Structure 1
Amino acid sequence: MAISSNLGFIVGPALAGILGSTAYEELLPVLAAVLISFAAVVVIAFKLKESKFATAITTSKINLREETSIRKIFACEPKPCYKPNNPNNLSILDVFRLKNLSFLLVLYFFIFLGFNVFYTAFPIHAVTSLKWSSTEMGLYYFVLSGVTILVQGPILRKALQKFSEEKLFIIGSFILGVNFLLSIPNSTILVYVALIFFAVGNGLSWPSFMSILSKHAGTVHQGVIQGVGGSMGSLDSIIGLITGGILYNLIGSNTFLVSAVFIFIVFIMSFRLLNIVKQT
């Protein structure tokens, strides 16, 4: 899924850069986004199968287990009426009470917060300080996504043969933090050096983290945990995107230092994952 999403980040920015460089400027990229979104709606409507029915059947099979007793042998055991429990019927507070999940969701929050501050500040930085055109912006994201796919594909598979997902997350988060520090100077060369760190750090840490989160959520609560994580990501977007814009107006490229601080907090906290693995 990570590779698939990064493939979109290759085609999307490249297409936006090409279309944005025409006489129509931003009009064509916006129209392209509308058409692509409409195509996604059509695919979802006609090709995506409903999963609720299958989930309900599985839940019923799991919960509708009858207990046997001596009364059943003499055919006088009353038949109890079972009410299937919905394993995903958890509140947000219930999710945070699950073992180790609150810690992982806090990590999730800080990761997205650091990214969202960067996502707002970098395009402004590229246009105002680096003097990039829309085509140069598209090229940057094209290269970034291409290198990330390389990392999340063969490089990550080989790395998993030597390191655990927890160690890869620790290593990746540190590299990711260095990337934000390298983005502070107004240098195109350093920005592309930072791009390598970004791709490697994100390529190693994010898939590893999502795998760790999935394992701790388990098969029963996996869906609701991902939903809560997505909600936290949306909250991060509200806070981080607004904060990134305000901070860049106040302190310029030093905004990337704020992103670095959030990611280095994640790096320090992530050492606890090694203890969690020992406990399990």
Structure 2
Amino acid sequence: METGQESRNQENSPEPIGESISLLPLLTVNFIGVLGFSIVLPFLVFLVNRLGGNAFIYGLASSMYPAFQLIGAPVLGRWSDIYGRKRILLLSQIGTLLSWIIFLAALFLPVSTLLKVDSGVLGAFTFTLPLAVLFFARAFDGLTGGSVSVANAYLADITEEKDRNRNFGKMSISSNLGFIVGPALAGILSVTQYGEAAPVLGAIAISLIGIAVIMFYIPESKECSLEGPVDSEDMRKLFGYGIKECWTAREKTGKPSFTGKPSFREVFKLPNIPYMLSLYFLIFLGFNIFYTSFPLHAIAALDWSIVEMGIYFAVLSGLLIIVQGSILPRLSKRYSDASLIIFGSLMLGTNFLLLIPGDLFLTYLATGFFALGDGLMWPSFLSLLSKIAGKRYQGTVQGFASGFAGLASITGLILGGLLYEMFAGRAFLLAGMVIYTVFLLNFRLRRFEKDLEY
């Protein structure tokens, strides 16, 4: 006969969760999140120019999201370790919805001048009221934009280590599907009578769907939440949630062990984590120089329209899906994460160099190198990072990684606009050099994998 205490102990003991939680709702949320972002990607540069900005302002506007994500993502990642992944995913998605509503309002404001600048370095631009509100909208989305880091932590929660590479590949596929549908949808909606407002309305509708999916189809992935801080009463009231004691997964003895909240200093003392976060920073630096420079390059050197820009991103994302859906699963069975990261970074760096001449054929040839490089490198890198982080610090490490990505994005997006203003297509040379540096540094990851075996 069970006593009351024995019954409570059985209720509190951890159960295996990886087999009971489906990936589909999480992949859907990730797809929706990327779709909401990518739907405005093709026309953002045109919108900034129409409202008075130039290449520098476009880079600055693009950097507002990562700048405030640098503040928000580590906090949200840590909260997800304390309060649970689902509630923080929901908080992040609500923030995204509100940001798009503010973005929409900016489109209907009078284009009144706040500041005029004519600089030899920054170029000539007019900072207007709609631009200021647009900046605020992107900043607010960034502040609550921890969904990627929390989703990665969620995926690590429900996936065994041997399946990490494959499942992070599935996560990347869902992201790339968003990048296919988003730009294509933007191209279709932007030519309607509603103009630029139509894609933003689409982003609002997509965000509402994301909230519904999280509320009704995403279960909590953590067996429990880490012990909360003493001053967390307001957070508990906000979410209607009482913090439970947390027990880690069973150790070899079969007995769970109690853990407290992870501290930031403690996380930075974890073996190999600082090195991985440095690589995370450099990878995002190279990416974001590209993401700012390429739309400017497409207009100036290739004379592309919004529709042609959408087609390019759709082709690029389609190739990424082929690599991550077909090639990555096969190669991940034969090669380690570190080997795929090394080879992928070499291919990715080569892609950037092919963009420099501004030739249409080389531009589309570069998409193959981009897809092969990013498609093999990035899921493998996320897989290795999650293994090194371990279960206890998963959300906190992923939050810090997003923070490092935010810092790199601020630097890369602003630098990309300035570099293209001064050097045109040669701005891609710097992006290539950054990724080639990552390629050389990645050889150390082989040792990290060996450390995990012991």
TM-score range, shorter chain: 0.7 to 0.9
Cα deviations by residue, 1:165-184 (Å, 9 ceiling, x for unpaired) = 11010000000000000011
Deviation digits for residues 165-223 of structure 1 (CA, Å, limit 9, x no counterpart): 11010000000000000011111111100001001100000000000101111112112
Within 5 A, what are the aligned runs for 1:30-179? 30-50=200-220, 54-56=224-226, 59-60=246-247, 84-86=258-260, 88-91=261-264, 93-179=265-351
How many pairs align? 259
Letter in 1 for 2:270: L
Question: For residues 101 and 257 of structure 1, what CA distance do their matches in structure 2 show?
Answer: 29
Moved more, 14-23 or 99-108: 14-23
> How far apart in 2 are the matches of 1:184 and 1:234?
26
Deviations, residues 22-67 of structure 1 (Å, cap 9, x unaligned):
454322222212221232233334443445672346723669xxxx
Q: What amino acid is the match of 1:89? A: P
Q: Which residue of 1 aligns with 2:362?
A: 190
Amino acid at match of 2:259: N
TM-score (norm 2): 0.54
Distance in 1, Cα, partners of 2:399 & 2:301: 38
Q: Which runs of 5+ in 1 are unaligned?
A: 64-82
Within 1, Cα distance between the matches of 2:177 and 2:403? Answer: 24
Quote the Cα distance in structure 1 between the aligned partners of 2:387 and 2:248: 22
**d(CA) in 2 for partners of 1:180, 1:147:** 16
Displacement, 1:275? 2.5
RMSD of aligned alpha carbons: 2.1
Question: TM-score with structure 1 length normalisation?
Answer: 0.86
Contact 2:248/2:259 (<8 A) preserved: no
- For 1:137 and 1:223, the matched residues in 2 are separated by 35
Q: Are 2:177 and 2:318, in contact at CA under 8 Å, matched by a contact in 1?
A: yes
Residue 18 (structure 1) aligns with: 188
2:416 is aligned to 244
Rounded Cα–Cα distance in structure 2 between residues aligned with 1:6 and 1:210: 16
The corresponding residue for 1:7 is: 177
Greater share of helix: 1
- 1:6 deviates by 0.8
Percent sequence identity over aligned pairs: 49
In structure 2, C-alpha distance between the alignment counterparts of 1:121 and 1:7, rounded to whole Å? 23
- Identify which range, 266-275 or 37-46, moves more after superposition: 37-46
Counterpart of 2:449 (choices 268, 277, 280) is 277
Runs (5+) with no aligned partner, structure 2: 1-170, 227-243, 251-256
State the match for 2:392 in structure 1: 220
Name the CA distance, whole Å, in 1 between partners of 2:398 and 2:245: 19
